[in-house]
Amino acid sequence: MDALLVLLAALTLGGFVFLPWMRRRRAVQHTRQGLVVAADPMAGYGFVPLEQLDVRLPGPDQELDEALAEMRRTHDWRPAAELLKSTGDDWERRWQRVQTLAGAAAFELAEGGTEQGGGGRTGGIWLRTWRSEAPKDPGGAQTHAQFLVVQALRDPGSQDFRMILEEARTVCREAALLAPGSPIPYITELAVARGLGDRPADYEELWSKVAQRAPQHMGAHLAALPYWSQKWHGSRKEAEAFAERAAAAAPAHTLLPALPLFAVYEHLPEANMVRSLYQSAVVERAIEGAHFALREAPADHPMAPHVRHLLVWFLVRAERYAEAMEQLRLVDGHVGAVPWSYGRSPAAEYAAYRALAIAGWEQLGGTSAGFPPPGK
């Protein structure tokens, strides 16, 4: 379990959002391997069928969907540029969109693109054309930098790993010059710095540039958290301290009080099926922090689906099925988030937990009758 690396490398972190998308064609193949109960668990509940779950994003974004569809059809970069231009300085939403656009380019490249006359391929060509035809467009530079991070983190053992990350750092700094007030290039560089093993002092300096521009940015905090974990360059104590400081200092209406839940997930033991672990004081406190954050933050906060997906995972493990059902009702349909994005088949793994939540709910006397429609 490589926690938030995959959110940013595959959502690309995140999730971050990237590699979950690149697994899209395999999302249903593992359902016959015991991941989902044989009976249809959705009858009467209105949940989205497994084969229709969207593994690209944690939640709906119609404008992004439309831009991606147009780019897929025409291989033109302009829909992406217009999308980011219209997003403006909505930094949380822009960060998710940059990640997804970068993931789209990486997916197309991995798939080999569409054959054209003369043996050429079009995989990711819109990003290359965007950079060549509009080199001063900050959106293109931001997407290019994130694309390079995705490429590097797909294979950290590659001999090209450091070279690609160094190139990504160069493009991050170019993007920062094109839009000096934007935190996006610095958030992308957090993954670069983690991969290259920057010293803590240098990482803190980089983090200060993010915090100056977007101090309550939930996506940025999720991007920074892995550096301080014991799997990278810190420890459980350091990661939890980072999360607790952010949560304690968070102003009203932010999602930062949910950050400790991600820190707990980052450091769960590999053998973590014991129910008492999920009913411990530490986990209960983190769950309540996430509930509080969701109550206080705007309902349409771009990062809220990330919190809800992780809550589903913890609530099912803790056998708090009614609460899990409420989160499923609000988030069902999109599964591009931690923790599903860590598995071989994000859609199937999400569906397995959904089935467990339904089974637990019904065992406690719940029924589909009167269950509010998903998304309402």
Handedness of CA 208, 209, 210, 216 (dihedral sign): positive
Burial of 39: CB neighbours in 10 Å, binned 0-12, 13-18, 19+: exposed
DSSP state of 255: S
Nearest 5°: phi and psi at 121? -130, 155
CB contact set of 223 (below 8 Å; sequence gap of 6+): 4, 7, 8, 13, 14, 16, 187, 190, 191
Q: How far is CA 332 from CA 53, 149, 169, 347, in A?
A: 8, 29, 36, 11
Q: Is residue 371 part of a domain?
A: no
Give me the pLDDT at residue 51, please: 93
Give me the pLDDT at residue 156, please: 86
User: Is-contact 65 101, C-beta < 8 A?
Assistant: no
Q: How many domains does the chain have?
A: 1
Give me the pLDDT at residue 272, please: 58
Q: Is residue 203 part of a domain?
A: yes
Q: Is residue 368 part of a domain?
A: no
CA angle 162, 167, 170 (to 5 degrees): 130
DSSP one-letter string for 195-212: HHT--HHHHHHHHHHHHH
Give the model confidence (pLDDT) of 164-209 as tens digits: 999 999 999 999 999 999 999 999 999 999 999 999 999 999 999 9
pLDDT band at 9 (very low <50, low <70, confident <90, very high): very low
Q: Is residue 275 part of a domain?
A: yes
* Residue span of the structural domain in which 60 resides: 3-363
CATH at residue 113: 1.25.40.10
Give me the pLDDT at residue 122, please: 40
E-assigned strand segments in 228-269: none
Give me the pLDDT at residue 42, please: 63
Question: Measured between alpha carbons, how far is 236 from 218 in angstroms, rounded to an integer?
Answer: 20
Least confident of 38-52, 97-111, 232-246, 296-310: 38-52
Mean per-residue pLDDT, 98-119? 73
Least confident of 155-164, 170-179, 350-359: 155-164
User: Is-contact 322 3, C-beta < 8 A?
Assistant: no
Q: Is residue 374 part of a domain?
A: no
Which of these, 166, 178, 9, lies nearest to 99 by C-alpha position? Answer: 9
Mean per-residue pLDDT, 143-172? 94
Q: Is residue 370 part of a domain?
A: no
pLDDT band at 265 (very low <50, low <70, confident <90, very high): very high
pTM for the predicted model, two decimal places: 0.86
Q: Is residue 376 part of a domain?
A: no
Q: Is residue 372 part of a domain?
A: no
Query: Has residue 2 got a pLDDT over 60?
Result: no
DSSP state of 230: T
DSSP one-letter string for 262-290: HHHHHT--SS---HHHHTSHHHHHHHHHH
DSSP one-letter string for 11-37: --------HHHHTGGGTTGGGGGTTS-
Mean per-residue pLDDT, 74-103? 96
What average pLDDT is seen over the chain?
86
Give me the pLDDT at residue 101, please: 96
Give me the pLDDT at residue 25, please: 35
Query: Has residue 299 got a pLDDT over 80?
Result: yes
Residue of higher predicted confidence among 25 and 277: 277
Mean per-residue pLDDT, 148-172? 94
Give the model confidence (pLDDT) of 237-249 as tens digits: 999 999 999 999 9
Give the model confidence (pLDDT) of 101-111 as tens digits: 999 999 888 87
